[in-house]
Structure 1
């Protein structure tokens, strides 16, 4: 049976990863990281957790090299992906950051690339702690 480790928290309205410190000076980024699901189970759990928020930032972006999306939990690369079929698409040439969405009908629970400056909640967790414990 899977149990939630109490490490998740919605930080509130913010911009993407590079702006977390500026918007949340009290957030201890040394011990908190943006969430990136690492499995279908984590993705589903997070989708249920954020239902009232609609969309939250996850730590996936192609800011370094357009078209090469990197997903990280802190300094660790995450291989899991759950992009909607047309994503990432860099629509209008200014989409570089990812959100997990529970809105937009058919793409619920999937990832969508958006402009990094969209004011959206960020879902953070304590670094080094799993979202799930099996």
Structure 2
């Protein structure tokens, strides 16, 4: 998550599909997880990550930067199906904090980053230090 302030998360996630999110977000990106500590902190929610292999099957990259993934926490046996090109965290039947690949059309929660802040989105509203704004 690029060193953002983890305590900036303020609302519960709402359900959205991955493709709709990445095209709707203009100033924010879906969160990428770069360290185990970030993964541990986020493992309380089932949510989309910035992760996908849409360009080349099996070549998982962060959508917002195009960078290859350096840290991963896949569920054993994942990623699996070629038709599941988007990364998500906390698949219901597995250990919290682990990653799964899923169809990009599935509707699950999401978390975003905006200028180093971390945002759980419900109606794309975020809050930091008592102030609210719309993404």
TM-score (norm 2): 0.70
Equivalence for 1:67: 58
Determine helix, strand or coil for the equivalent of 1:43: helix
1:47, 1:109 within 8 Å by CA — same for their partners in 2? yes
Higher helix share: 1
- Note closer, same or farther for the CA distance 1:21–1:57 as it changes in structure 2 (3 Å cut): closer
Does residue 124 of structure 1 match 2:112?
yes
Aligned pairs (5 A) from 1:1-40: 4-6=6-8, 12-16=14-18, 18-20=19-21, 29-40=25-36
Determine helix, strand or coil for the equivalent of 1:124: strand
Structure 1 residue ranges (4+ consecutive) displaced by more than 6 angstroms after TM superposition: none
* C-alpha RMSD over aligned residues: 2.5
Cα offset, 1:70, TM superposition: 0.8
What are structure 1's unaligned runs of at least 5 residues?
none
What are structure 2's unaligned runs of at least 5 residues?
119-135
Aligned pairs, number: 113
Determine helix, strand or coil for the equivalent of 1:75: coil
Cα offset, 1:5, TM superposition: 4.2
- Note closer, same or farther for the CA distance 1:69–1:32 as it changes in structure 2 (3 Å cut): same
Does residue 96 of structure 1 match 2:85?
yes
Cα offset, 1:30, TM superposition: 3.5
2:88, 2:102 within 8 Å by CA — same for their partners in 1? yes
Does residue 58 of structure 1 match 2:60?
no
Cα offset, 1:104, TM superposition: 1.3
Determine helix, strand or coil for the equivalent of 1:45: helix
- The one-character-per-residue Cα deviations of 1:98-125 (angstroms, maximum 9, x if unpaired) are 11006314x3211001111111112112
